[in-house]
């Protein structure tokens, strides 16, 4: 506006437009340019944040056609089958289930509907004998007490194996699987599928390891609350003959359908549900437990329906590379509210995470005294904080020993896909030598050691210690 003095002369009457009018009239136009620039920056930032998240979501690997058999086509077998139907390179060759009246028919129909030319078997030995040359890998989803026999038979037939967790209902069984994998040199992936879940990998790789946002993790807390359900039934016309049930280790159809609840067949709720999450404890803490205390019982189901404990509360002790830590876990079969999650509390932050997209999906909370997390927000590891305003809090004066409620940052990794797909994809990549297994048998074994001891501790009614060598095969 240095020219203004010179232009101080009154404007010409009649309203003629001169150069100065245009300069003044458009004086604020550059603001639009600045706005455009800022908007462009903002949009670029949003796009980058979005891409970072998408980069964490696994597209199916580009692998050559892989011939697969499904061994065990019950409810979990179906889950894995559905996930594999979304892996374009998987070619189903055979499916095997002893319940030919129901599971086998259903799985075969589904696979044929998806244009997989599968052959159906009720006996795994027959399937392996006839198909082993046509197969690359077998996915095992039979009851826990069959895992060792099935997995080892497949490994020894020269096939790579994906085996559902729990690796085995006995440590001898689990150990023999590790040994068989080593002996045959074949891949054996244990189905702790969270090990491949993009959100869990993000939390471990970025939040815990790289950014060390939690500081030293001191306590862990986790749960799986499940609503009570009646025992699984079966259509009477589809009942298996007694001899077949007996041949495969079951006393009755009721026991066959609810094998998870029976001693000698499964491991009850702690193995069924807890195992998934206790596996995460060891992974995120980078340590196996050194001791366990547990309480549990048949608080809901009568023991003739459910032999194993339906309600379990556990406390583990760990010596982590950063110091001692304690972990609580509970699973109950009464009321499903609050669902399932794992919560890791360190001196600088808390992480809450679950496999579920609907509940407790994932968030970190920064302790107010911890170093700032701005750079991690910038890198897209966590969302910008939702400030927990004191607005709705009762009017209390914070004691000097208290700190304000930490800000909540969301974990920006959505995974709207079948939960088991990334873990299966990782297995098949390993089969083709394109990746390392995310859950090799050694890890499955360590988790089995930690989890199976819970049932022992409940029975013993005392604190049981682990020797470090217990975790090694």
Partner 1 sequence: MSLDKNNKLQMTALTILRVLVGWHFLYEGIAKLMKDGWSAAGFLGQAKGAFAPIFHWIADTPAVLDIVNQMNIWGLIAIGLGLIMGAFTSIASIAGMMLILLYYVCNPPFTGLFYSLPSEGNYLIVNKNLVEFGALFVLAVTSSGKFLGLDLIISKLLKRK
Q: Is 15 in the site for partner 1 (CB under 8 A)?
A: yes
Nearer CB in complex with partner 1: 10/321: 10
Burial label, 339 (beta-carbon count in 10 A; 0-12, 13-18, 19+): middle
Measured from the Cβ of residue 421, the count of other Cβ atoms closer than 10 Å reads 22
Q: Does 27 bind partner 1 (CB under 8 A)?
A: yes
Q: Which stretch binds partner 1 (CB under 8 A): 26-34, 113-121, 191-199, 464-472?
A: 26-34
Least CB distance from residue 10 to partner 1, whole Å? 6
22 touches partner 1 (CB under 8 A): yes
Nearer to partner 1, 113 or 387 (CB): 387
Provide the minimum distance between the beta carbon of 379 and partner 1 in the complex, in angstroms, as a whole number: 22
Q: Closest distance between partner 1 and the C-beta of residue 4, in Å?
A: 8
We find the least distance from the C-beta atom of residue 31 to partner 1, in angstroms, to be 5
Query: Which is nearer to partner 1, 41 or 219 (by Cβ)?
Result: 41
Contact between 239 and 253 (Cβ < 8 Å): yes
Question: Would you call 132 exposed, middle or buried from its count of C-beta atoms within 10 A (0-12, 13-18, 19+)?
Answer: middle
Stretch that binds partner 1, among 18-26, 296-304, 310-318, 461-469 (CB under 8 A): 18-26
Beta-carbon contacts of residue 407 (< 8 Å; ≥ 6 apart)? 365, 366, 385, 386, 387, 388
Q: For residue 156, which phi and psi values (nearest 5 degrees)?
A: -75, -20
For partner 1, the closer of residues 377 and 418 by Cβ is: 377
Question: Footprint of partner 1 on residues 386-405 (CB under 8 A)?
Answer: 386-387, 389, 391-392
Selected from 2, 6, 19, 31, the binder of partner 1 by CB under 8 A is 31
278 neighbors 329 (Cβ within 8 angstroms)? yes
Report angle CA 329, 330, 334 to the nearest 5 degrees.
165
340, 321 Cβ separation under 8 angstroms:
no
Establish if 29 lies at the interface with partner 1 (CB under 8 A): yes
Query: Using CB under 8 A, which of the segments 8-16, 103-111, 193-201, 277-285 binds partner 1?
Result: 8-16
CA distances (Å), 134 to each of 119, 137, 200, in order?
Answer: 11, 10, 35
Q: How far is the CB of 49 from partner 1 (least distance, A)?
A: 13
Task: Pick the binder of partner 1 from 2, 6, 19, 28 (CB under 8 A).
Answer: 28
Q: By CB under 8 A, is residue 32 in contact with partner 1?
A: yes
Give the nearest distance from C-beta 46 to partner 1 in angstroms: 8
- Minimum separation from the CB atom of position 387 to partner 1 (A): 7
Tell me which stretch binds partner 1 (CB under 8 A): 17-25, 211-219, 287-295, 326-334. 17-25
Binding to partner 1, residues 414-433 (CB under 8 A): none
Nearer to partner 1, 49 or 295 (CB): 49
The CB-of-349 to partner 1 minimum distance in angstroms stands at 21
Place of tokens 């583990």: 316
At its nearest, how many Å lie between partner 1 and the CB of residue 389? Answer: 6
Selected from 3, 37, 39, 323, the binder of partner 1 by CB under 8 A is 39
Nearest residue (CB) to partner 1, 21 versus 374? 21
The region, left, alpha or beta by phi > 0 then psi within -120 to 50, assigned to residue 240 is beta
The answer to whether residue 11 forms part of the interface with partner 1 (CB under 8 A) is yes
Task: Enumerate binding residues for partner 1 (CB under 8 A).
Answer: 4, 8, 10-11, 14-17, 21-22, 24-29, 31-32, 35, 39, 43, 386-387, 389, 391-392
């Amino acid at each position: 506006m240095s020219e203004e003095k010179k232009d101080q002369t009154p404007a010409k009457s009649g309203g003629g437009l001169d150069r100065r009018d245009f300069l003044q009239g458009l004086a604020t136009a550059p603001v639009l340019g600045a706005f455009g620039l800022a908007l462009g920056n903002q949009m670029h930032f949003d796009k980058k944040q979005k891409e970072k998240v998408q980069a964490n979501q696994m597209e199916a690997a580009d692998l050559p056609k892989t011939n697969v058999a499904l061994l065990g086509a019950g409810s979990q077998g179906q889950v894995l089958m559905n996930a594999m139907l979304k892996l374009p390179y998987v070619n189903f060759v055979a499916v095997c289930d002893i319940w030919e009246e129901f599971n086998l028919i259903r799985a075969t129909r589904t696979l044929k509907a998806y244009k997989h030319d599968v052959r159906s078997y009720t006996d795994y030995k027959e399937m392996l004998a006839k198909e082993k040359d046509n197969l690359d890998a077998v996915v095992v989803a039979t009851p826990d007490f069959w895992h060792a026999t099935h997995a080892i038979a497949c490994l020894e037939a020269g096939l790579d194996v994906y085996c559902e967790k729990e690796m085995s209902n006995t440590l001898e069984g689990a150990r023999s699987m590790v040994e068989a994998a080593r002996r045959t040199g074949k891949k054996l992936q244990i189905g702790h599928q969270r090990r491949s879940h993009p959100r869990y990998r993000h939390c471990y790789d970025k939040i815990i390891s790289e950014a060390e946002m939690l500081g030293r993790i001191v306590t862990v807390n986790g749960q799986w609350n499940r609503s009570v359900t009646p025992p699984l039934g079966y259509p009477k016309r589809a009942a298996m003959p007694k001899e077949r049930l007996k041949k495969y280790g079951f006393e009755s159809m009721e026991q066959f359908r609810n094998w998870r609840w029976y001693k000698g067949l499964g491991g009850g709720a702690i193995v069924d549900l807890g195992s998934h999450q206790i596996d995460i404890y060891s992974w995120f803490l980078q340590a196996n437990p050194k001791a366990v205390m547990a309480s549990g019982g048949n608080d809901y189901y009568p023991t003739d329906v459910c032999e194993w404990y339906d309600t379990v509360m556990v406390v583990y002790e760990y010596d982590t590379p950063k110091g001692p830590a304690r972990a609580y876990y509970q699973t109950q079969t009464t009321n499903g509210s609050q669902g399932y999650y794992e919560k890791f509390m360190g001196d600088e932050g808390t992480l809450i995470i679950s496999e579920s997209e609907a509940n407790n999906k994932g968030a970190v909370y920064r302790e107010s005294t911890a170093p700032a997390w701005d750079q991690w927000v910038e890198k897209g590891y966590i969302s910008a904080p939702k400030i927990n305003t004191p607005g709705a809090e009762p009017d209390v004066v914070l004691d000097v020993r208290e700190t304000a409620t930490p800000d909540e940052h969301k974990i920006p990794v959505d995974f709207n896909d079948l939960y088991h797909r990334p873990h299966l994809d990782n297995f098949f990549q390993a089969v083709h030598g394109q990746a390392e297994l995310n859950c090799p048998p050694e890890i499955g074994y360590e988790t089995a050691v930690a989890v199976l001891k819970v049932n022992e501790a409940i029975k013993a009614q005392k604190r049981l210690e682990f020797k470090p060598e217990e975790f090694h095969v």
